[in-house]
Amino acid sequence: MAVDLLLGLQWGDEGKGKIVDVLTKNYNIIARFQGGPNAGHTLEFDGIKHVLHTIPSGIFHPDAINLVGNGVVIDPVIFKKELDNLQPFNIDIKKKLLISRKAHLILPTHRLLDAASEASKGKAKIGSTLKGIGPTYMDKTGRNGIRVGDIEMDGWRDKYRSLANKHEAMIDFYNVDIQYDLAELEAQFFDAIETLQELTFIDSEEYLYQAQRDGKTILAEGAQGSLLDIDFGTYPFVTSSNTTAAGACTGLGVAPGKIQEVFGIFKAYTTRVGSGPFPTELFDEYGATMGKVGNEFGATTGRPRRCGWLDLVALKYAVRVNGVTQLMMMKGDVLSGFDKLKVCTAYNYKGEKIKHLPYNIEAENVTPVYTEMPGWKEDLTKMTSVDQFPKELNDYIAFLEKELETPIKIVSVGPDRTQTIHR
Ligand code: GDP
Ligand code: IMO
Ligand code: MG
């Protein structure tokens, strides 16, 4: 059987958690392939809102297995909190949640290093979630990291100590004012490691290979978004993993030829949290309304998200880099009542009109060229089928499909599981 893949096409927070939850009924296994607790994936059903950071978004379904893949970085302290939040739901965690032995661990000093690095950058800071993501992936590629499989073996604490000592020296090197009590942080860390040790660790690439042979259906769940990809995003204002389709192969050990559907998910407008260029960002009433109606606050850090019109130049780039086969448009309901909608279809770049994403998309290099469309007045949140859609929404969707040369198969009209319309 093939593996399907769901990933965000913008700067994250497109609604991946919601759609993975909606699609889980079609799959046996949901597998996260990159990122870590910088992610905040929200899902809602039966009037309850859940936010997951590391645990895949299929965890509330009775039959699905949820796998944390080798490409993910795990903070045991945050992981333990996530498990605590799941306790009221009586989920058989030992059976339903599997963890790759090759996933790397975020140490308390990785978090401190993240804070020190950001503080040292001043105004040029990335706007990191300060979860230690960058330093942990640096230790992974620098071949110094500690993996989940290590904590099954004796002697890993020596490796921990020498790495933490090195990190402390590095924190001193940054010479910034970071207050911390490492003994306290380590007490929490080792306590959480004990919880982690009670879970099921597996050789996940072998597990997924056998699952495919046995005809099991697998959905790979991405975190962040394509424009935060370490290679293809708006570097250096990106995260430290490959958020694009290829990341699912390296983050799970799935062969490229086994990937079938690539579901690309985007908001009907654009948001970004943290620093970095954002050509269609709005500083007017339209942007403020998107933020307010869309409740655009980071699910991990609570920071307000920057809002702007849909950027088709960037979206087209993401569709191509990922080989998206089906699109899903989220949060169309937020745009109800807008007298007009604008969609960026090209950039003015150094006196020239271009339709591709150039190397630099900072405001001094790029001005968006917009196509204006009429908005719709109707409230979409109670609609249950495409037949109820206003003409202006259908026109908006048709325009995007034509520009992106890819069908929009799901339109989401609210945060709840049920507010999902298939086309
Ligand atoms: P993720 O990181 O991609 O999983 O997305 P987040 O959970 O960080 O952010 C998406 C936010 O939008 C969450 O608060 C969701 O509950 C909410 N949401 C998802 N789909 C819709 C939708 O169609 N309409 C509205 N109004 N909210 C939505
Ligand atoms: P989900 O999975 C939105 C952003 C941060 C920062 C940059 C680097 O919920 O879509 P990092 O902590 O990775 O060093 O931060 O990336 N960022 C996200 N923005 N959604 C996310 O995840 C994000 N994860 C990281 O705000 O700008
Ligand atoms: Mg999020």
Q: Please spell the DSSP secondary structure of 217-256, one letter per residue.
A: -EEEE--S-GGG-TTTSSTTSS-SS--STHHHHHHHT--G
Distance 49 CA to ligand 1 centre (A): 11
Cβ pair 114, 132 in contact under 8 A: yes
| Sign (positive or negative) of CA dihedral 306, 307, 309, 312 | positive
| Ligand 3 mean position, distance from CA 12 (Å) | 6
Q: Tell me: the pLDDT tens digits for 24-55? A: 999 999 999 999 999 999 999 999 999 999 99
Distances (CA, A) of 180 to 114, 129, 393: 13, 18, 52
Query: If you average pLDDT over residues 217-246, what whole number do you get?
Result: 98
Q: Cβ of 6: how many Cβ atoms within 10 Å?
A: 23
What ligand 2 atom has the least distance to the C-alpha of 114?
Answer: 14
* Mean pLDDT confidence for 206-216: 97
CB 365 within 8 A of CB 349: yes
Question: What per-residue confidence (pLDDT) applies to 2?
Answer: 87
14 CA from centroid of ligand 1 (Å): 6
Residue owning tokens 């271009």: 354
C-alpha closest to that of 9 among 261, 262, 360: 262
Residue range 380-405, pLDDT digits in tens: 999 999 999 999 999 999 999 999 99
Q: For residue 310, report the phi and psi dihedrals to the nearest 5 degrees.
A: -65, 135
pLDDT recorded at residue 106: 98
72-96: b (≥16 Cβ within 10 Å) or e: bbbbbbbbbbbbeebeeeebebeeb
Query: How many H-runs (helices) and E-runs (strands) does the chain carry?
Result: 12, 20
Instruction: Give 214 Cα–ligand 3 centroid separation in angstroms.
Output: 33
- What is the sign of the dihedral through the CA atoms of 125, 236, 306 and 220? negative
The pLDDT-based confidence of 299 (bands split at 50, 70, 90) is: confident
Token pair for 195: 């919880």
What integer best gives the mean pLDDT of the chain?
97
Name the 3-class secondary structure at 63.
coil
The pocket around ligand 2, CB under 6 angstroms, is made up of 8, 11-13, 35, 38-41, 126-129, 131, 133-134, 223-225, 228, 237, 239, 273-274, 299
Atom of ligand 1 nearest to the CA of 299: 8
Residue 381: what residue type? T
- Give the pLDDT confidence of 104-151 residue by residue, as tens digits: 999 999 999 999 999 999 999 999 999 999 999 999 999 999 999 999
Residue 68 confidence class, pLDDT cut points 50, 70, 90: very high
Active-site positions?
13, 41
- Give the burial class of 158: count Cβ atoms within 10 A of its Cβ; 0-12 exposed, 13-18 middle, 19 or more buried: exposed
Give the pLDDT mean for 199-222: 97
Minimal-distance CA residue to ligand 1 atom 7 = 42
- Distance (Å, whole) CA 213 – CA 55: 25
